[in-house]
Amino acid sequence: MIDIDELDDKFSIEGEVGFAELEEDLAFVTVSNKYADADICLYGAHITSFRPQNNMDLLWLSPESSFEEGKPIRGGIPVCFPWFGPHKTDADKPQHGFGRLMYWDVLATSTNPAGESVVTLQLCSSEETKAFWPHDFCAEMTFVVGRTLTATLKVTNTSSEPFDYTCALHTYYSLSSIENIKIEGLKGITYYNQLTGEFDIQEEENLTIQEATTRHYLNTESVVVIDDPLFRRRIKASKTGSKVTTVWNPWEETCAQISDLPDAGYETFVCVEATNAFDYPIQLAPGESHETTAIIGLEE
């Protein structure tokens, strides 16, 4: 049982960082500073909202999302760890790993010299994690809430043997309409089309989405911009420590089959994800760490 009062006593920052039970009584870190507001759920180390001051939320959250243990939250930035997609050898293990299905501990909160709020959550190996994955590790999710949002997954190998893992920061961006937007920054990059099983190179200057799309752009650290003229904003998505950029929208037929998405939900979001998977897993020797970071904000 999470004690909100105890978390408040240890980690709150007056007028800036607090704790509350939101969304079916799940525990959240709430952040409000001169730059932005944000809500971060301790279940899954999952940020569900990032609202720059005087702007709409950059993140999309499904109105039909489950907020209960055993089910992932749909929207925001799910943390896919320690595998991306289905487990390679055991289909019964959870899609996208167990990181988004467990409570993370609050490690620290602070205000940096720029006045940004910093929140760090931690998940370390335990009997519960070893039921899914045999390795000793410590994972940290650090959120820096300022004019931009920086989300960093740091994984450390605390075992005596090397291991590898895959991961993603599976960001859902809020849109006026999927048919109105264009995605810049991916021209000339080879991608794996998961829906056809084929590889191709994007020749178009900008990606427009007019059908179900699951593309994994390979060996790229390019900055991506989501241009949304109806909302009069351009969302800039940059990253470090990630070699794959995943773009996903389920479109109408698949969306209707996903229980925690409204039938028309596909119209108002797109996922652009900082991923490490396929030919780009992360390999860690004992004591080594790796950081995967997504930085999102409005292009000014």
Could you tell me which of 151, 175, 152 has the C-alpha nearest to residue 249?
A: 175
Mean confidence (pLDDT) of the chain: 97
Question: How deeply is 260 buried, as exposed, middle or buried, from its count of CB atoms within 10 A (0-12, 13-18, 19+)?
Answer: middle
Q: Give the separation between CA 64 and CA 66, rounded to whole angstroms.
A: 7
pLDDT band with cut points at 50, 70 and 90 for residue 24: confident
Could you tell me which of 298, 286, 275, 263 has the C-alpha nearest to residue 62?
A: 263
Could you tell me which of 120, 85, 118 has the C-alpha nearest to residue 104?
A: 120
pLDDT tens digit sequence for 182-234: 999 999 999 999 999 999 999 999 999 999 999 999 999 999 999 999 999 99
**Could you write out the DSSP letters of every residue in 137-206?**
EEEEEEEEESSSEEEEEEEEE-SSS-EEE-EEE-PEEE-S-TTT-EEES-TT-EEEETTTTEEEE--SSE
CA 7 from centre of chain = 24
Q: Give the separation between CA 174 and CA 188, rounded to whole angstroms.
A: 26
Per-residue confidence (pLDDT) for residue 23, from 0 to 100 = 76
Residues 271, 248: contact at Cβ < 8 Å?
yes
Residues 243, 276: contact at Cβ < 8 Å?
yes
pLDDT tens digit sequence for 101-158: 999 999 999 999 999 999 999 999 999 999 999 999 999 999 999 999 999 999 999 9
Per-residue confidence (pLDDT) for residue 300, from 0 to 100 = 78
Judge if the upstream peptide bond of residue 82 is cis by omega within 30 degrees of 0: yes
**Residue matched to tokens 């969304």:** 23
Could you tell me which of 94, 166, 79 has the C-alpha nearest to residue 129?
A: 94
Residues 84, 276: contact at Cβ < 8 Å?
yes
Domain architecture of the chain: domains with CATH: 4-298 (2.70.98.10)
Residues 270, 170: contact at Cβ < 8 Å?
no
44-70 b/e (C-beta count within 10 Å ≥ 16 → b): bbbbbbbbbeeeebbbbbbeebebeee
Residues known to be catalytic: 170, 273
